[in-house]
Amino acid sequence: MKLSVHSKSFERNVVLLLVFVLISVPLAVAADDYTAARRTMVGEIEADVELTSSYIGADELDQRVMTAMGTVPRHEFVPDEMRRYAYENRPLPIGYGQTISQPYIVALMTDLLDPAPEHSVLEVGTGSGYQAAIMAELVANVYTIEIVEELGSRATRDLARLGYDNVEVRIGDGYHGWESVSPFDSILVAAAASHIPPPLLRQLKPGGRMIIPVGSRFLTQYLVLVEKSFDGVVKTHQILPVRFVPLTGGHD
Ligand code: SAH
């Protein structure tokens, strides 16, 4: 009798253990898949940074930026059919003719803005919301503007679902910036413009930085770092050639 009670509870424990293993192993494998893929992606970004070190004047990016790249789930920001490519170091289509930028470019642009925990940052071109999430890991507040309503709504939903409550998304034309929450410590423009939008320059704090791809759709575009000094003088530096979707809204 005693033996059979013992063996019943033993059996039950075995069953419980089995159920636990059956449930947790696939979960752990799924989590591991992305963790490993993300680590590989971070390694590829580091390699690209070294390859382009003569352009960017450094052979590594800020450790905080790299930690954010290794943390944010990029697969949550791409359409389902793109998930398996989510950690490849390249841009991916996100619908409406738009793309999520290449991870190396996201990391580089973020790094060039020197994000600090107390900063308030404006992004023009929310797209998937991925770049905003990276920035949100590093600064106090992110304000991001998207011109395609469907993309803006999807990004708003995804960012909220993932708990990024320090990001505010607005649908509109980012050329004009976001006056009511300006000025910004830094501004990141994720679509190529023919010129630096004057409203964005005005909304940048003295001592602030802006990163923006400048050039036309078919000719070479350059990533340009804009620095506004404390006495209001603006200096620009061409960093490296890039390829972005155009800033729309008709401001040429
Ligand atoms: N940062 C994005 C990449 C977006 S691609 C990401 O991490 O996924 C550039 C985005 O800029 C596109 O979604 C495009 O619709 C948007 N865009 C283009 N012109 C714009 C404008 N004038 N104002 C706001 N968004 C604009």
Q: Which of 101, 120, 128, 186 is catalytic?
A: 101
Instruction: Indicate whether 8 pLDDT > 80.
Output: no
- In a domain, residue 155? The reply is yes
| Atom 2 of ligand 1, nearest CA residue | 127
- In a domain, residue 48? The reply is no
Beta-strand relationship, 184-189 and 120-124: parallel
Ligand 1 pocket, residue 128 CB under 6 Å? yes
Instruction: Tell me the residue range of the domain where 176 lies.
Output: 90-242
> Which of 76, 90, 99, 147 to mutate to test ligand 1, by most ligand atoms within 8 A of the CB atom?
147
- In a domain, residue 217? The reply is yes
- In a domain, residue 210? The reply is yes
pLDDT value, residue 18? 57
- In a domain, residue 64? The reply is no
Token match 């003569």: residue?
A: 54
How far, in Å, from the CA of 142 to the mean position of ligand 1? 15
Number of domains in the chain: 1
* One-character DSSP codes across 214-250: ES-SSS-EEEEEEEE-TTS-EEEEEEEEE--PBP-SS
Please say if 101 is a catalytic residue: yes
pLDDT value, residue 21? 56
- In a domain, residue 51? The reply is no
How far, in Å, from the CA of 10 to the mean position of ligand 1? 59
Ligand 1 pocket, residue 194 CB under 6 Å? no
Mean pLDDT value of segment 211-219: 88
Q: Please, where are the H alpha helices in 52-129? A: 53-56, 63-69, 103-112
- In a domain, residue 53? The reply is no
- In a domain, residue 168? The reply is yes
Cβ(150)–Cβ(129) below 8 Å: no
Q: What is the CATH number of the domain that holds 178?
A: 3.40.50.150
Regarding pTM above 0.85, the answer is yes
Instruction: Indicate whether 200 pLDDT > 80.
Output: yes
75-92 burial, b at 16+ Cβ within 10 Å, e below that, comes to bbbbeeebeeebbbbebb
Q: Which of 18-22, 159-163, 166-170, 201-205 is predicted least confidently?
A: 18-22
Contacts with 93 (C-beta within 8 Å, 6 or more apart), sequence order: 79, 82, 99
What is the chain's mean pLDDT, rounded? 91
